[in-house]
Amino acid sequence: MYRSRSARSPNLREPDTRLAESDKIEGAGGWDALEWTKIDPVSRSVPIGVKQFLLEDEHVVVEGYGVVLVNTDDAGTLFVTNFRLLFLSEGSRDIIALGTVPLATIEKVQKIVMKLPSGQRQPEKTGSQRLLQIIGKDMRIIVFGFRPRTKQRRAVYDALLRCARPARLWDLYAFAGGHSRFSNTNPKVRLLNEYCRLLGMGFCQASIRAIEDGSFTLSNEYWRISSVNSNYTMSPTYPFALLLPKSISDDKVLQACTFRARCRLPAITWCDRGTGAVLARSSQPLVGLMMNMRSNADENLVAALCTQIAGEKRRKLYIADARPRKNALANGAMGGGSESSANYFQSERHGGWSWGGGNLSSMSASVSTLGDTGWLIHVQTVLAGSAWIAARVALESASVLVHCSDGWDRTTQLVSLASLLLDPYYRTIKGFQALVEKDWLAFGHPFSDRLGMPTISGSGNMPFELSRQASTGSLPSSPVRQVSGSSSSQAQNTSHAQNQNSPIFLQWVDCVSQLLRMYPFAFEFSSAFLVDLLDCMLSCRFGNFLCNSEKEREQAGISDACGCLWMYLAEVRASEGSSHAHYNLFYDPLKHDGPLLPPAAALAPTVWPQFHLRWACPSEAQGGEVEAECRKLTRKFSELQRAKEAAETRLNEISVTVESLVTELRNEKLVSTSAKDAVKRASKETATIKRAVQSLGFNVNFSPDGDCNVCIESNPTEIPQRSVCSVSTTNSNGSVHGSEKSDLSEPVTVMQDDVSDNPLIQVCESLCPMHSRDSGCRWPNPGCAKFRSQFVGLKANFDAFDRLPIYDNYFGT
């Protein structure tokens, strides 16, 4: 097993803490102290465990074992895949984020051979150390150490030479990964939907069919969607659909485009439906060397941007030139230049202040050299220019036309940032996506040229910077400065015409982060969302930011062959819902529901710690303590909210069960009350019958088992019978003779012929309603008339009842 000197095993979840503790990149003390003898060279195949860290269709090209990440003094395995440089810690067997960088994000790779002085050499140590320095476009500088005579550094170096800058566009990982998982709608459809929203026709939804048959040319009172560039024949760097004044026909548009560089004529990029003011963009006019060339079609098109103000005269037009004055004059020598306010009605020209970002030739810069590049000065000028444009539109209801030389770098920065200030919709996650796709992608910002990536026509316009430093006796005290010096020397050898790399988009996102700092309640997204967006853009993992224009992306079939960055970010947010780090905890859409007009004193940018300091000073990049505590409280609140919802659900279930039990208990009470009432009525009826029988001279006794005993104080003839009650007679000597229980269907047998003196018979005759006064019975052939005893048992002979003829006089009133 190979281990580092400190035998530390960093955790992937805490890469920032380890980097802050060691901070080996800023000094040389940790480089000399590496104990290379403890790293045993082992030849093995790619471990199976690394497959769990690989993405879809990602495969290992070269691996190096026993490699040390000098920044954190960690030993592990270094893999070069077709997508990234991946460092796997030997101790934790997990990925170290600092040592894992996408190949497209690598700006420079340098070999460094460090020879120790002879007096410092020890027998167990080797005489030189093989180092490989990686400089990234994301402000990352990392150093890997290799054992001598293993040729692993050479293998990794050659793999980076082949894979980091592929010769063809289709060799990028974005095409290998496919789009099956992160597919999305066609970007043309999303552009038309944004145009419909600007026209106030958000109810209209575009479709591929509408694009194919050309039925997307909608319009309102002032503006219309034109298909004049549907085949990219007018301007190959403009989108297929343009938002133009309704009063200008397509024929006039084709005439006007020839007066602008690269045929990038004035087109509307944002409009205010309430005031009629517009924000337009274009390239420089071709006024000629003497600056006296004019175009009536171009002047009419620019004049049409200024619609009539209700009750007033025509609105004012500002023409903002984003170039320094010397650049505008230099372009005049090549046929370009600037407009004359005298030729454009109600116009006022402003420019010469270098509003846009500077020409930074390198995407990478260390934290220590960030100030030397004038980065913050460029950010401030972009903020100031955008704030001025937004103020003209919001306060004066004026229209503004912005252009630079080609209209795709400084112009895009100013127009998109001014739109972000004017429209609250662009300050949401969905709106920010629409803004980037409209102003940056559709209007042809050359991302491939600015990132140094291959285009559809071939390889990138700047070779991958791979160099080898000469052997030195000792390591310089500051490797960062030494790398910067190497970059400068290489930049001098490379002509400016060949070097088109420039962090224009990164500079604009930095401006957005400054606005997010100034207005923490105005944006739905957080700084973490902007960082992840930049990482995805620099990695070229998705196809959204490939090529230089919409036309090139369509020719390469990007939307069909590659995944969509926006779908990936949406899936990442869906894992945690509204508590995800991409959402701004302080967002309040009602607090800033109009334009943002920052005062000039607030336009003092600071270093963006979440991006610029996340690798060098990770503790500073974690954000403020208030935001961190607020996010913890929000996460805790979300957990409590879910627990509350679960408790409420359980409470509802218990409430339903209780209500069901209450209903059953109520029903049981009703049944019990009815039974009690029935018992009471039966008791009353029993008492009444008892009193009635007792009034006839009988003693009635009810036993607990329900039997009834009737006693008669006389000496009647014993009449044995079977009845429901047990009838006992007492003779003169006090003996009691009991009778058997009666069967309801059996007749009673008379034991004596003379029963006329029997009191039971007398009672029967007196109580029977069918007994006549002449001791006759009106019931023909009744059982009681035959046996003279049926009525006592209160039972009728139903066989006789069935034979009973019906006469009306049997029933009384």
What's the full length of the chain, in residues?
Answer: 813
DSSP class of residue 86 equals: E
CA distance linking residue 362 with residue 160, whole number of Å: 19
Rounded (10°) angle between helices 565-574 and 527-539: 140
CA distance linking residue 639 with residue 688, whole number of Å: 73
To the nearest 10°, the Cα dihedral for 499, 500, 501, 504?
150
CA distance linking residue 422 with residue 540, whole number of Å: 31
Distances (CA, A) of 373 to 109, 324, 379: 21, 18, 11
Q: Do residues 198 and 242 make contact, with C-beta atoms less than 8 angstroms apart?
A: no
CA distance linking residue 209 with residue 216, whole number of Å: 9
| Structural tokens at position 394 | 């919001």
Tell me the backbone φ, ψ of residue 90, rounded to 5 degrees: -75, -30
Buried-exposed string 562-592: b where 16+ CB fall within 10 A, e elsewhere: bbbbbbbbbeebeeeeebebbbbeebeeeee
Q: Is 196 annotated as catalytic?
A: no
The pairing of strands 699-702 and 708-713 is antiparallel
Handedness of CA 8, 13, 16, 21 (dihedral sign): negative
Nearest CA among 562, 193, 264 for reference residue 412: 264
Give helix then strand counts, H and E, for the chain.
25, 19
β-bridge mates for residue 271, sequence order:
278
Contacts of 61 (CB under 8 A, 6+ apart): 80, 81, 82, 159, 162, 163
3-state secondary structure 711-765: EEECCCCCCCCCECCEEEEECCCCCEEECCECCCCCCCCCCCCCCCCCHHHHHHH
Contacts of 171 (CB under 8 A, 6+ apart): 454
Buried-exposed string 121-144: b where 16+ CB fall within 10 A, e elsewhere: eeeeeeeebbbbbbbbbbbbbbbb
The catalytically annotated residue of 306, 404, 511, 536 is: 404
DSSP-derived secondary structure for 251-292: HHHHHHHTTBGGG---EEEEE-TTT--EEEEE--B--TTTT-
What is the SS3 assignment for 50?
A: helix
Q: Do residues 436 and 420 make contact, with C-beta atoms less than 8 angstroms apart?
A: no
| Structural tokens at position 504 | 């224009």
Q: Do residues 266 and 282 make contact, with C-beta atoms less than 8 angstroms apart?
A: yes
Q: How far does Cα 111 stand from its chain's mean position?
A: 42
Contacts of 687 (CB under 8 A, 6+ apart): none
Q: Do residues 462 and 493 make contact, with C-beta atoms less than 8 angstroms apart?
A: no
CA distance linking residue 3 with residue 423, whole number of Å: 56
Active site residues: 404
